[in-house]
Amino acid sequence: AEAHAAYAAARPRSAEIHARARELLPGGNTRSVLFYTPFPTAMVRGEGCRLWDADGHEYLDLLGEYTAGLFGHSEQRILDAVRGALERGINLASVGEAEARLAGLIVGRFPSIELVRFTNSGTEANLMALAAARGFTGRVKTMVMRGGYHGGVLTFASERNPVNVPIPLAFTDYNDPEAAMRDILAEGEELAAVLVEPMLGSGGCIPASREFLQALRDATRQTGAVLIFDEVMTSRHGRGGLQERLGVIPDMTTLGKYMAGGMSFGAFGGRADIMSVFDGHRPGTLPHAGTFNNNVWSMAAGCVAMGEIFDSPTAEALFARGEALRTALNAACAGVPMQFTGHGSMLNVHFRRGPITGPYAATEAENKLRELFFFDMLGMGIYLARRGMAALSLPVTEADCARYVAAVEEFAAARQPLL
Ligand code: PLP
């Protein structure tokens, strides 16, 4: 209550913006992830990895738009690409050169992708990948992980989520290779697809073990189910995504977030024989339409983002910066029940000791600490996801990382009695 009061007192303008929005939008927003009590901070401007809110506070942006903001808020080459595309005409109801160029950049990077198609979001990419798997196999059921997240309508924290699209589902546990093998083999030829994040993103930056992903690979090979890696968030972890880093190659991959330089984007791709279900040259083609699938600003920004900026050394340097930061953060909170999990530039705080290998039901005390952590960090001028995730963007420097480590040390010292 004290943290909320201090937060609210410093943000009268954000409070006003929220009050007005609440009259028109349920909960005052249009993205559930941005909801928190008493009201969310309204940002009005961003530059590089800095943000300014409506009440004039400046923040170090370590949220990086939940991974979509990889290039920061003012990367000149992205801005030029978007402006240039829009000046040539706002969408032309036509195919364009940029589309095939961006496809080439993606196919050239991801070992699992021989053919690719674009969507407006990661959610759509996953829905279309599942459609492809069903069309290709002639089967209907999809296996997902308990605690997995693949978009607003594919949210598996609970097995019975009324918001999910009505597809027949089977569940297995994250990071349990024996259970996964057993569950997939038990489904046998019922199963069209297995959909998995190679690191749980929204579930708390919890990496999958190589053994677990390999078990999924081996079991799906045996039953003929299509193995889909959702790399919407994790594709940033190397030139060819986390799949290349871990050496487990799925049949299909879904992408999104940062790849169009921060413009709306999604993509799904995979083996040529599977993706050919969308080939209009063939009889019985599956439909995949979408007004904005190849919108000119996303395609143009994507070519620059993936073709010029996020090259292999840049991806490796970002990964290394994140690994170093996570190591430093964990050193800073050694001795208290607090730790940071993740891979590379994505990390999440947890308030418990011991290895974290899968989703868990947080206690009331853990939830309170997580909330306190978020508000304390905001108070120190550091912007994170409410759930405690950070996703570094390219403009984040070593000095910025050091500032986060110092803030975590301060939190651990000041809140010691509660930990
Ligand atoms: N898949 C994963 C792993 C995600 O983290 C997200 C979004 O956070 C999505 C899919 C959905 O992407 P979008 O929000 O672009 O629909």
CATH of the domain at 102: 3.40.640.10
Residue from 195, 236, 257, 348 whose mutation best tests the ligand 1 pocket (most atoms within 8 A of CB): 257
Going along 169-214, which residue ranges are E strands?
Answer: 169-172, 191-196, 199-200, 206-207
Residues 201 and 183 in one domain: yes
Residues 288 and 358 in one domain: no
Residue from 31, 149, 165, 259 whose mutation best tests the ligand 1 pocket (most atoms within 8 A of CB): 149
pLDDT band at 397 (very low <50, low <70, confident <90, very high): very high
Domain boundary residue, one of 309, 335, 355? 309
Residues 154 and 100 in one domain: yes
Calculate how far, in angstroms, residue 35's C-alpha sits from the geometric centre of ligand 1. 17
Give ipTM to 2 decimals.
0.99
Residues 116 and 252 in one domain: yes
pLDDT band at 412 (very low <50, low <70, confident <90, very high): very high
Domain boundary residue, one of 275, 309, 343? 309
SS3 109: coil
Ligand 1 atom nearest to CA at 66? 8
Residues 100 and 177 in one domain: yes
Calculate how far, in angstroms, residue 233's C-alpha sits from the geometric centre of ligand 1. 7
Residues 44 and 100 in one domain: no
Residues 281 and 316 in one domain: no
Residue from 118, 150, 389 whose mutation best tests the ligand 1 pocket (most atoms within 8 A of CB): 150
Torsion angle of alpha carbons 318, 324, 327, 332, nearest 10°?
-110
**Total domains present in the chain:** 2
The secondary structure of residue 376, as a DSSP letter, is H
Which CATH number characterizes residue 332's domain? 3.90.1150.10
**Rg, C-alpha atoms of the chain:** 21
Across the chain, what does the average pLDDT equal?
Answer: 97
Dist CA 173 CA 215 (whole Å): 12
Dist CA 63 CA 69 (whole Å): 8
Ligand 1 atom nearest to CA at 123? 16
Calculate how far, in angstroms, residue 361's C-alpha sits from the geometric centre of ligand 1. 22
Ligand 1 atom nearest to CA at 234? 3
Residues 257 and 352 in one domain: no
Residues 197 and 292 in one domain: yes
Q: Which pTM was predicted?
A: 0.98
Across-strand partners of 355? none
Which residue lies with its CA nearest to atom 13 of ligand 1? 122
Domain boundary residue, one of 282, 309, 336? 309
Q: Is the pLDDT of residue 222 over 90?
A: yes
Q: Is the pLDDT of residue 416 over 90?
A: no
* Ligand 1 lining (C-beta closer than 6 Å): 66, 121-123, 126, 149-151, 197, 201-202, 230, 232-233, 256, 266
Before 337, cis peptide (omega within 30)? no
pLDDT of residue 352: 96
pLDDT band at 212 (very low <50, low <70, confident <90, very high): very high
Residues 205 and 346 in one domain: no
Tokens of 270: 């995979």
The region that residue 290 occupies, defined by phi over 0 for left and psi between -120 and 50 for alpha, beta otherwise, is left
Residues 166 and 229 in one domain: yes
Domain range for 414 is 2-70+312-418
Tens of pLDDT, residues 315-355: 999 999 999 999 999 999 998 999 999 999 999 999 999 99
Q: Is the pLDDT of residue 417 over 90?
A: no
Calculate how far, in angstroms, residue 389's C-alpha sits from the geometric centre of ligand 1. 14
Residues 153 and 275 in one domain: yes
